[in-house]
Chain A
């Protein structure tokens, strides 16, 4: 191929960014990276392929980028077979091509976000510590080291940060409890079990910006006087496990973890513990049992984990995103963070658009925007082009939201008002071909599979729930069984020890309330 038509071809090695994130790879990023290397060699072009994280514009993956004139330009979705034509088009100098998306930061989906926690995600090779620092990393920890424990906790409290794992508990209050608890040994644990379907924010940040998790946990350790941290990481995320482990080694070698963190005279050690595929182990007391090497049975409360947690010691349990939001709060100040958001939901929410959606991906945005804006303006409606029939928010224990509720603002309290839940921020979209009876059945089935077995309403109730729904769908005593199903849901909600049994009925109740036409005997064809 003649390359004379490519003006401004750079002399030095050109960088091409090809994400190494799980979703990008699941769509063929490794093939693209290999094809670029082969094609560059064939043409005698000097190209360095950088495996960056993902920007989270997942419908465009594999989305590759080049830096031209100091500006990143994107192309996507790219397949290996597109690579020769990209070279022909002079993509190394941001040449025009049918897959061209223009300057990355100007893509509306990205430009309209407020990336605070995800500020660095997708920009560089996630394991290059010097890049992390060049982009503002470790400024939060440097600041924390100069503060007293109380001052760190005060800043986190004033930021208004609430737990992003589901329960939305104020993080500062939790930290203060651990700070004030008696104990010679305290722990910081990071809940990276991310079990909710439709969520991947934890995975993304661990794969694409692992040092921010390490930095956030280290700040938490300094704040409460804990010298040991554990990341309880989902076994379903093998790449995140590998990247987090490598990042920990790099941070140790750089003196950012270990006996003397950043010459502060304080110790903080960190270890990844691999989970083993039990949804209930995302619940914090179950997670602590699992970290202790046991069955993940729910613990009775009190005592709170903050007072008596891991191995009986005062323990912080926080979600990945909660902890990853701490460095920027320290670096930029509490006010900077709380200026985003609305009411009692401060800062940003990392929304994950998933399922049957045209533009699936990660949207970090201040709280308070209407659900519809996420589904339509960002998401572009369904992938199939059919009308949206239902959206499940907040994971498998979250209600199915009916289109009549799409004007609700994304705000913890506003969602709670209509029985919805923001949870970890996942939105799973279904088009009008969905069978809501099947979805109700699955909610009970999932609870039956994942129940820890400690209490009867959940253990037995969920199995009964599946049976009752099966009877309804097959036309056996339909109206009696519908009443029975309501009763069963009430019993589970009222009588379960933890939120698995206590909330698994919510999606079922939402189907009874808003999609009852699907909880009927099936017509025999």
Chain B
């Protein structure tokens, strides 16, 4: 991996996308799992992946783009090292999610769908993590935290 430069990186990711697409093309409804697989590998679905996916799945580029843009959890830009998902839904609102949201924005200095300048965190809204009996809830990457106070959030951000 030491020889990787941006040119190689793009080639490498194109090969990867092609390989993922080939693996999923025969599955019924395979585009969605393919997009998940691309995002799992690369952290996002780069715009360069669209023509490759379109070609392998025999869709138009517009169709592939349409699918990506329909779903809130696909991203088209690289995420920070960690992604903080903040639940904005009602059970969390009932226990202070609005204040937690304010606190988080101020603390990270960014809004939703943004990444901190030091690339440590991306901030995303989410609408229910199924943790509604211990609200408010957040998720960092794929770990959920319950009853999150602003202090607890600060501590978690420090760890990250």
Specify which chain A residues have a CB less than 8 angstroms from the CB of B33 in the assembled complex. 273-274, 293
Counting CB contacts under 8 A, is A309 at the interface? no
Specify which chain A residues have a CB less than 8 angstroms from the CB of B143 in the assembled complex. 25
The stretch of A213-221, A231-239, A474-482, A516-524 that contacts the partner chain: A231-239
Counting CB contacts under 8 A, is B128 at the interface? yes
Counting CB contacts under 8 A, is A200 at the interface? yes
User: Digit string of B55-83 for contact with A (CB within 8 Å is 1, else 0)?
Assistant: 00000000000110011111000000000
- Interface pair B147/A27, CB less than 8 Å apart: yes
Interface of A toward B, CB cutoff 8 Å = 22-23, 25-27, 58-59, 61, 194-200, 202-203, 234-239, 273-279, 290-296, 311, 352-357, 360-362, 383, 392, 396, 426, 428-431, 434, 438-439, 442, 446, 449-450, 452
- Interface pair A277/B36, CB less than 8 Å apart: no
Specify which chain A residues have a CB less than 8 angstroms from the CB of B137 in the assembled complex. 26
Expressed in whole angstroms, the Cα–Cα distance for A392 and B128 within the complex equals 15
Specify which chain B residues have a CB less than 8 angstroms from the CB of A237 in the assembled complex. 129-130
- Interface pair B131/A293, CB less than 8 Å apart: no
Beta-carbon contacts under 8 Å, B134-150 to A:
134-135, 137, 139, 142-147
- Interface pair A26/B132, CB less than 8 Å apart: no
Find the A residue at minimum CB distance from B141. Answer: A238
Expressed in whole angstroms, the Cα–Cα distance for A507 and B43 within the complex equals 37
Find the A residue at minimum CB distance from B71. Answer: A276
Task: Tally B residues with Cβ within 8 Å of A.
Answer: 42
- Interface pair A276/B73, CB less than 8 Å apart: yes
CB of A167 to closest CB in B, whole Å:
19
Counting CB contacts under 8 A, is B20 at the interface? no
The stretch of B24-32, B102-110, B115-123 that contacts the partner chain: B24-32
Counting CB contacts under 8 A, is B153 at the interface? no
Expressed in whole angstroms, the Cα–Cα distance for A197 and B128 within the complex equals 5
- Interface pair A274/B36, CB less than 8 Å apart: yes
- Interface pair B67/A197, CB less than 8 Å apart: no
Task: Please pick, from A194, A197, A239, the residue contacting B91 in the complex, using a CB distance under 8 A.
Answer: A197
Specify which chain A residues have a CB less than 8 angstroms from the CB of B71 in the assembled complex. 275-278, 296
Expressed in whole angstroms, the Cα–Cα distance for A278 and B91 within the complex equals 18
- Interface pair B32/A293, CB less than 8 Å apart: yes
- Interface pair B95/A356, CB less than 8 Å apart: yes
What are 14 A-B interface contacts by the 8 Å CB criterion?
A: A27-B147, A61-B134, A197-B89, A197-B132, A198-B128, A198-B132, A203-B130, A273-B32, A276-B72, A276-B73, A295-B70, A354-B132, A442-B90, A452-B70
- Interface pair A200/B29, CB less than 8 Å apart: no
Specify which chain A residues have a CB less than 8 angstroms from the CB of B94 in the assembled complex. 354-356, 428-431, 434
Expressed in whole angstroms, the Cα–Cα distance for A438 and B101 within the complex equals 15
Interface of B toward A, CB cutoff 8 Å = 28-33, 35-36, 66-67, 70-74, 85, 89-95, 98, 126-135, 137, 139, 142-147
- Interface pair B144/A198, CB less than 8 Å apart: no
Expressed in whole angstroms, the Cα–Cα distance for A90 and B139 within the complex equals 35
Q: With A26-B145, A428-B91, A434-B94 as given contacts, are A296 and B135 in contact (CB-CB < 8 Å)?
A: no
CB of B138 to closest CB in A, whole Å:
9
- Interface pair B134/A311, CB less than 8 Å apart: no
- Interface pair B135/A292, CB less than 8 Å apart: no
A interface, by DSSP: helix, strand, loop or mixed? mixed
Specify which chain B residues have a CB less than 8 angstroms from the CB of A59 in the assembled complex. 133-134
Specify which chain B residues have a CB less than 8 angstroms from the CB of A449 in the assembled complex. 127
Specify which chain B residues have a CB less than 8 angstroms from the CB of A396 in the assembled complex. 89-90
- Interface pair A236/B128, CB less than 8 Å apart: yes
Expressed in whole angstroms, the Cα–Cα distance for A448 and B111 within the complex equals 19
CB of A510 to closest CB in B, whole Å:
13
Find the B residue at minimum CB distance from A59. Answer: B133
In the complex, given contacts A278-B72, A354-B135, A434-B94, what are 20 additional A-B residue pairs having Cβ atoms less than 8 angstroms apart? A22-B144, A27-B147, A59-B134, A198-B91, A234-B130, A236-B128, A236-B130, A239-B142, A273-B33, A276-B32, A276-B71, A277-B126, A279-B127, A292-B29, A293-B30, A295-B66, A354-B91, A355-B92, A392-B90, A431-B94
- Interface pair B134/A199, CB less than 8 Å apart: no
Specify which chain A residues have a CB less than 8 angstroms from the CB of B93 in the assembled complex. 355, 439, 442
Specify which chain A residues have a CB less than 8 angstroms from the CB of B67 in the assembled complex. 293-295
CB of B111 to closest CB in A, whole Å:
15
- Interface pair B146/A23, CB less than 8 Å apart: yes
CB of B63 to closest CB in A, whole Å:
8
- Interface pair A26/B91, CB less than 8 Å apart: no
Specify which chain B residues have a CB less than 8 angstroms from the CB of A235 in the assembled complex. 36, 73
Specify which chain B residues have a CB less than 8 angstroms from the CB of A290 in the assembled complex. 32
Expressed in whole angstroms, the Cα–Cα distance for A470 and B145 within the complex equals 32
CB of B141 to closest CB in A, whole Å:
9
- Interface pair B145/A197, CB less than 8 Å apart: no
Expressed in whole angstroms, the Cα–Cα distance for A64 and B15 within the complex equals 48
- Interface pair B132/A311, CB less than 8 Å apart: no
- Interface pair A194/B130, CB less than 8 Å apart: yes
Expressed in whole angstroms, the Cα–Cα distance for A59 and B146 within the complex equals 11
- Interface pair B142/A238, CB less than 8 Å apart: yes
- Interface pair A355/B139, CB less than 8 Å apart: no
- Interface pair B29/A236, CB less than 8 Å apart: no
Find the A residue at minimum CB distance from B35. Answer: A276
CB of B154 to closest CB in A, whole Å:
17
Specify which chain A residues have a CB less than 8 angstroms from the CB of B129 in the assembled complex. 22, 236-237
Expressed in whole angstroms, the Cα–Cα distance for A442 and B144 within the complex equals 23
- Interface pair A200/B130, CB less than 8 Å apart: yes
- Interface pair A353/B133, CB less than 8 Å apart: yes
Find the B residue at minimum CB distance from A429. Answer: B94
Closest 10 CB pairs of A and B: A360-B133, A277-B73, A355-B94, A197-B89, A276-B71, A26-B146, A354-B132, A293-B31, A58-B133, A293-B29
Specify which chain A residues have a CB less than 8 angstroms from the CB of B85 in the assembled complex. 236
Q: With A23-B133, A197-B128 as given contacts, are A236 and B91 in contact (CB-CB < 8 Å)?
A: no
- Residue of A22, A203, A278, A357 ringed by the most chain B CB atoms within 10 A: A22
Find the A residue at minimum CB distance from B128. Answer: A197
Specify which chain A residues have a CB less than 8 angstroms from the CB of B73 in the assembled complex. 235, 276-277
Expressed in whole angstroms, the Cα–Cα distance for A202 and B93 within the complex equals 21
- Interface pair B130/A22, CB less than 8 Å apart: yes
Find the B residue at minimum CB distance from A276. Answer: B71
